Structures are given as structure tokens and as C-alpha cells.
């Protein structure tokens, strides 16, 4: 790719973000969320442009619900400091160092700007002496995602005496009696897989496909660790990230002058962009909403409103499409079920008609051993847009 090409994309993304707005760095959590929903062009583009999606959602009147509690934040920091104190002696022990008494090399990675830090990290990885441990505390790794560069910051990367690299992920949820919350471990594994991918971009094959997950043990503050095999997450995330539509292709489909600029007032914190205008800009990029977005994407409530207004079945659950075949809207499902539309030879339509008949029969049936009639569902679907918006 030519430099001018790179330059023009960067300019385009800066225009989308708005002049004078600092980009929000794309972190591993965001990449993992993106990989979980690779079809979402809206998220891909806005993340690549470094748009503050939370602020956009705020202006759209559909702010996200999640955030981080101060308590969890300070607990996380205190625990990480506990793991890394005394020159990471505790971490070395957890990594299985033969003699944790021998201190590890902890190179200084400080540099101005992400490019500088990433370069220092690459240098430190290359210069790590064989035969001893080197620990990189908060290194910065660069990964090209959909044609634009993302900088990622793992908690630590260890270089073992044999030269292999290990991603260390420090989390503050506990490992209780040898087990931890499966959802949290899954999220940590997906996040760590992104770091392994970024290390593979430095030198393929040097990073171990199992990462060290360091957590507090039981109800204490004592660190304990488990090796987590992330080969599966690596394969999935790697494949999904390559599937992402190239950012420039998405940007090319947008009407001239599209921007997510919030036009902050002179105080730098009051957005002046009109809701309608911003909404039009956001809706110019197609989204792939699924309920899972609600816990990972700041824009989810806005996308949910759109998805519901279009009557898309995905708003009821991502897995539904599989059994509904070509029926993509709630209206299509209901009219097929009630025999008003749809081809009876289509297995999905036939099954729905059967289900509707059985359901009606059951609701009309007297309940065994009780005389209370069941509440009947009302009819009368609201007005809905056509199928076009629901892929």
C-alpha cells in the first residue's frame, strides 16, 4: 500500500472523528468485541476512526449502561501492583521460573507517543538475552486491523530463558477453589488472544499459545495463576479480524462530508451537534445489531432502537435466524405463522404454522385441574418498515 494511500485514509478517519478531536485508542477489549461481531461495519469504522462512541450515544439519547466502578478500578490496580512489586518476583514464581530469587530484566519502555513505545517494545523483545527472564511491563504492541493500525497494551509479556514469549493477563476476579467465573475467563482469554496475535505480527511463532492468567486466590489478595490455552480464541479472532471489511471500503460508501464530529463548544465538553444530524451520519453506516452488543458496545441502545423499528428478528436473539431461514422480520414470521403469507413448502414456514396451530390449541384448552383461562395474546402489529433493513 502506498504512503499516500495510508495518508488519505488517515485523513478520512480524522474527518469522520472531527477536526481537533483526539482519537480513542483501539484496545484489545474493543478488538475482541469487534471480532465477536465481524459483520458490524458501524462498529468497525467508528472504532478505527477512534470515535468516542460513548459520547455519540449520549448525544443520540441512548447512552450505554456499562462502565467501570471506581471500586473495581482501584482493586484492579492494587492487585496488579501487588503482583508486580519487588521487580515482579511474584510474577516470576507464577511463571514457573527455576529460581525466582534471580531478578528478571525489566527494561524501560517509556517513550513519547505510541509509535515510540511500540518501537521500544520491539527492541526490548529483540534484545532480551537468552538464558534469563525478561519481563516487559505494559509493553505496547501494534496490530494492523482492517487496514488501520491499533496499539495494544497487555499487562505484561514475559520472555523466558528459552526465548518464548508469554502473554500475562492480570485480572482482579478471584479463582475460587480452583475455578473462576467462566464468562470472565472467556473474556480474558479473548482479550489475551488479541495480544498473542499482535506478538505474532512481530515474529510469528515466538509467542506461546497459552497465556498466564493471574488472579487473586479465593477471598484473599494473594496472587495465583492458571495457564489458559487460547488457541481456539486465536483461531476465531484471527479469522474474524481478517474478515473485517476494509475500513477504506466502508468509508468509501459513505456520502461525502459524513462525520461523527460532536462539534464541542469552546469549553471542550459540551457537544453542539444536533441529534438528528448525528443520527443520520451514524445510520449511514450499516450495523449488525444483536442483543450481545448491549454488553460490549456503547452504541447498542441506538442500534437496538433501529433494529426494533425495522422489526428485525435479530433483536430477539442472534440465534433465531438459523431456524427462520428467509423470514427476517417479526412481521414476516407472524404472517407466515398465521397463514397470511409465505410458501408452505418452505420448512421454516411449515414449522411456524404448525407451532402457531399448536400454540392456539393449547391456549384454548382447559388447564388440567384448573379453571382459569390463560391470557390471550393480542394481535395488531404496529407499523413496521419492510425487510430491506434486516439482512
User: Per CB under 8 A, which of residues 208..267 are in contact with another protein?
Assistant: 216, 218-222
Which of 42, 304 has the CB closer to another protein?
304
Binding status of residue 102 toward another protein by CB under 8 A: no
Binding string, residues 304-333; x marks residues near another protein by CB under 8 A:
----x--x-x-xxx-xx--xx-----xx-x
Which of 246, 318 has the CB closer to another protein?
318
Binding positions for another protein, 60-79, rule CB under 8 A: 62-63, 65-76
Best CA proximity match to 151, nearest among 77, 50, 231: 50
Rounded to the nearest 10 degrees, the angle between the axes of helix 41-48 and helix 53-60 is 120
Binding status of residue 357 toward another protein by CB under 8 A: yes
Which of 130, 374 has the CB closer to another protein?
374
Sheet of 134-137, strand order: 134-137, 156-159, 165-170, 210-216, 223-229
Using the contact rule CB under 8 A, the part of the chain among 33-41, 126-134, 259-267, 293-301 near another protein is 293-301
Where residue 282 falls (left for φ over 0; alpha for ψ -120 to 50; beta otherwise) is alpha
CB 316, CB 330: distance < 8 Å: yes
User: What is the rounded CA–CA span in Å between residue 196 and residue 203?
Assistant: 10
Least distance (Å) between residue 93 CB and another protein: 16
User: What is the rounded CA–CA span in Å between residue 144 and residue 154?
Assistant: 16
Cβ-based neighbours of 14, under 8 Å, separated by 6 or more: 23, 49
CB 31, CB 22: distance < 8 Å: no
Binding string, residues 111-150; x marks residues near another protein by CB under 8 A:
----------------------------------------
How far is CA 321 from each of CA 230, 250, 341, rounded to the nearest angstrom?
A: 29, 25, 18
Least distance (Å) between residue 155 CB and another protein: 16
Q: Which of 249, 381, 386, 391 binds another protein (CB under 8 A)?
A: 381
Cβ-based neighbours of 106, under 8 Å, separated by 6 or more: 87, 88, 134, 135, 136, 137
Using the contact rule CB under 8 A, the part of the chain among 10-18, 25-33, 265-273, 343-351 near another protein is 343-351
Q: Which of 36, 184, 264, 301 binds another protein (CB under 8 A)?
A: 301
How many amino acids of this chain bind another protein (CB under 8 A)? 76
Least distance (Å) between residue 75 CB and another protein: 4
Binding positions for another protein, 173-202, rule CB under 8 A: 173-174, 176-178
User: What is the rounded CA–CA span in Å between residue 316 and residue 323?
Assistant: 13
Amino acid at each position: 500500500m502506498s504512503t499516500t494511500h495510508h495518508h488519505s485514509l488517515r485523513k478520512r478517519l480524522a474527518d469522520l472523528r472531527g477536526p481537533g478531536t483526539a482519537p480513542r485508542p483501539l484496545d484489545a477489549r474493543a478488538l475482541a468485541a469487534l471480532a465477536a461481531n465481524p459483520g458490524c461495519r458501524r462498529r468497525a469504522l467508528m472504532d478505527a476512526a477512534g470515535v468516542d462512541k460513548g459520547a455519540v450515544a449520549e448525544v443520540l439519547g441512548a447512552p450505554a449502561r456499562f462502565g467501570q466502578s471506581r471500586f473495581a478500578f482501584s482493586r484492579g490496580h492494587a492487585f496488579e501492583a501487588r503482583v508486580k512489586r519487588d521487580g515482579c518476583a511474584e510474577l516470576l514464581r507464577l511463571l514457573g521460573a527455576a529460581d525466582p530469587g534471580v531478578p528478571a530484566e525489566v527494561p524501560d519502555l517509556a517513550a513519547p507517543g505510541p509509535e515510540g513505545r511500540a518501537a521500544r517494545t520491539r527492541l526490548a523483545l529483540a534484545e532480551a538475552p537468552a538464558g534469563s527472564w525478561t519481563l516487559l511491563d505494559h509493553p505496547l504492541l501494534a496490530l494492523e486491523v482492517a487496514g488501520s493500525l491499533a496499539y495494544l497494551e497487555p499487562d505484561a509479556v514475559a520472555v523466558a530463558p528459552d526465548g518464548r514469549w508469554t502473554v500475562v493477563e492480570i485480572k482482579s476476579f478471584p479463582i475460587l477453589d480452583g475455578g473462576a467465573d467462566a464468562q470472565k475467563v472467556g473474556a480474558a482469554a479473548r482479550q489475551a488472544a488479541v495480544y498473542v496475535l499482535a506478538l505474532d505480527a512481530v515474529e510469528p511463532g515466538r509467542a506461546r499459545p497459552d497465556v498466564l492468567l493471574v488472579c487473586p486466590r479465593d477471598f484473599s489478595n494473594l496472587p495465583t495463576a492458571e495457564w489458559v490455552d487460547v488457541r481456539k480464541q486465536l483461531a476465531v479472532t484471527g479469522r474474524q479480524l481478517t474478515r473485517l471489511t476494509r475500513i477504506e471500503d466502508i468509508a468509501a460508501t459513505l456520502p461525502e462530508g459524513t462525520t461523527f464530529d460532536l462539534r464541542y463548544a469552546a469549553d471542550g465538553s459540551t457537544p453542539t451537534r444536533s441529534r438528528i444530524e448525528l443520527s443520520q451520519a451514524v445510520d449511514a453506516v450499516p450495523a449488525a445489531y444483536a442483543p450481545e452488543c448491549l454488553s460490549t458496545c456503547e452504541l447498542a441502545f441506538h442500534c437496538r432502537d433501529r433494529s426494533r423499528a425495522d422489526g428485525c428478528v435479530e433483536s430477539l436473539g442472534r440465534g433465531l435466524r438459523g431456524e427462520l431461514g428467509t423470514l427476517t422480520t417479526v412481521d414476516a414470521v407472524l404472517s407466515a405463522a398465521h397463514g397470511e403469507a409465505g410458501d408452505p413448502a418452505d420448512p421454516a414456514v411449515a414449522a411456524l404454522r404448525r407451532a402457531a396451530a399448536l400454540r392456539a390449541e393449547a391456549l384454548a384448552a382447559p388447564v388440567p385441574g384448573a379453571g382459569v383461562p390463560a391470557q390471550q395474546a393480542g394481535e395488531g402489529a404496529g407499523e413496521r418498515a419492510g425487510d430491506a433493513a434486516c439482512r
